[in-house]
Amino acid sequence: MISKHLTWPSLATANRDIPAGIVVFLVALPLCLGIALASGAPLFSGVIAGIVAGLVVALFSGSELSVSGPAAGLAVIVLAAIQKLGFEAFTLALVISGVLQVGFGILRAGVIGDYIPNSVIKGMLAAIGVVIILKQLPHALGDDKDFVGDEAFRQKDGLNTFSEILDSLAGLSPGAILITLSCLTVLLLWEKPFMKRMKWTSVVPGPLVCVVLGIAFNEAYGAVAPGWKLTAEKDHLVELPVVGSLKEFLGVFSLPAFAAISRVDVWVTAVTIALVGSVETLLCIEATDKLDPEKRISDTNRELRAQGLGNILSGLIGGLPITSVIVRSSANVYAGARTRLSAFVHGLLLLLAALLLAGLLNRVPLAALASVLLVVGYKLSSLKIIREMWAQGWNQFIPFGVTLLAIVFTDLLKGIGIGLLTSVFFVIRSNHHSAITLVNEEDDWLVRFNKDISFIHKAELKRRLREIPDHATAIIDGTKALYVDRDIYDTIKEFETAASFRGIQLEYHNFFGKQLAKA
């Protein structure tokens, strides 16, 4: 059964996928550590989740380009759960949540993602781009005291997204700024046609050059300008826990507290993680499909099963919850990935880094990674995308804009909820105006239903009926409607009663008997 859904990565586009996997690994590593820190969990639990996401979820995923890992959106939930349950009981809840997610996939709950309007998805992508830019600006300026990955507007330190940037201006780091500007220059050059014509640039990605450049600059500071050097003591560098041996590495894994399985609070936490994590995954999958150059349609039910399997394994060995994550996924797409091989490579590199490369990776300045994410953020939220949505009219632009602003000023899930409510309002409004037409020629009036009519059209129907003057002849035409709601029949019946007092003659064309019509 498991082997049926396992897909080994293709090597056909390895020349694009492997470099992309390296880029995603470099972006994901500090995120894994930062989210573990924000969650009140052992730092290595974030790395464990990232490894499982890359080596396991990627093989079973329903998406070729989505990249999974520990998510900032669950950090608050995880923090509260660990404080209440303890870490071992929390990981048991994570195992249970994984079982529930597998069940969601079997029950085909992945279809929920298909009901999210494009305007909301595009608003979410643009908002993520804006949030990435705003959250990375402090790191670009050399302010690295906060963990990487805090995507919420209000932060744990009492500041918000904008006040954090202003606070960063008080302690600018010349070394970080120079690294950021140099890396941004490299990334912009990599987009130029003359650079793309060079074959070696398709093998050596710009973000990887930025990382090497960042290390080189920082090492040079130590020799020529010690005051500019970025150090781990001031949180300017990647901080991966260093293990001295395989035995020490295996010692960071921990088993869940299976004895806590009868506790109600463990099950409440499990259900919460399963629901929130599944929603976040489905949103990310929809968004990633929009970014996919080949416009493939992901299997969301398979994705839920893959996420569930990943969470079961992550919980069993002491990791954090896993979801599909838009920051990693968008970085993956823009790094040139074509298949799931890139996500698998990112997981393999996380494993090798934890075992062998921690010392080297701990020299990477966060300013270099910030420059990579700044470019990703710009591509997600460019003015071109905003102009395209504006050109589609208010019905598309307003839900897009509301979603964008709501996510920037709250967080991902709240912002999506506000965007969906706004979109529903415009859908209802549009249905009202297009479902019913009223035309007349002198004293003859025609009320025509242009589509199926439900209770949401009742207000519009009443408004139209009020326009019919006394002593007129009115025809109610339901020819184009296959279904007419009971509320609509009652409204017409009430109008028929009023018409007898107003001298209005009523006729019905193909109207009655449609309330029980089959879909």
Mean pLDDT calculated for residue range 30-48: 82
Which residues of 230-378 form beta strands (DSSP E)? 323-324
Asked if residue 4 is part of any domain, the answer here is no
What pLDDT sits at residue 321?
96
User: In this predicted model, which residue has the larger pLDDT, 226 or 234?
Assistant: 226
- On whether both 28 and 141 belong to a single domain, the answer is yes
Among 396, 411, 432, which residue terminates a domain?
Answer: 432
Using the structure block, give the residue that is written with the tokens 């093989």: 59
Asked if residue 94 is part of any domain, the answer here is yes
- On whether both 500 and 403 belong to a single domain, the answer is no
Flag whether pLDDT at 505 surpasses 90. Answer: yes
Phi, psi angles (nearest 5°) of residue 453? -120, 125
Which residues of 363-514 form beta strands (DSSP E)? 436-441, 444-449, 473-477, 505-509
- On whether both 405 and 453 belong to a single domain, the answer is no
How many domains would you assign to the chain? 3
Res. 88 pLDDT band, cuts 50 70 90: very high
Flag whether pLDDT at 149 surpasses 70. Answer: no
- On whether both 140 and 161 belong to a single domain, the answer is yes
- On whether both 335 and 440 belong to a single domain, the answer is no
- How far is residue 447's CA from residue 18's CA, in Å, rounded to a whole number? 62
Flag whether pLDDT at 517 surpasses 60. Answer: no
CA 505 to chain centre: 56
Alpha carbon distances (Å) from 51 to 27, 30, 31, 472, 514: 14, 13, 13, 74, 56
Asked if residue 515 is part of any domain, the answer here is no
Flag whether pLDDT at 355 surpasses 50. Answer: yes
CATH code, domain carrying 461: 3.30.750.24
What pLDDT sits at residue 2?
52
Asked if residue 277 is part of any domain, the answer here is yes
User: Tens digit of pLDDT for each residue in 413-427?
Assistant: 788 889 889 988 887
- On whether both 299 and 288 belong to a single domain, the answer is yes
Mean pLDDT calculated for residue range 286-310: 92
What pLDDT sits at residue 1?
46
- How far is residue 179's CA from residue 215's CA, in Å, rounded to a whole number? 9
Q: What is the CA radius of gyration of the chain?
A: 28
Single pTM value for the model:
0.72
User: In this predicted model, which residue has the larger pLDDT, 342 or 26?
Assistant: 342
- On whether both 324 and 468 belong to a single domain, the answer is no
Nearest to 52 by CA among 362, 356, 358, 350: 350
- On whether both 225 and 197 belong to a single domain, the answer is yes
- How far is residue 461's CA from residue 465's CA, in Å, rounded to a whole number? 6
Mean pLDDT calculated for residue range 464-492: 91
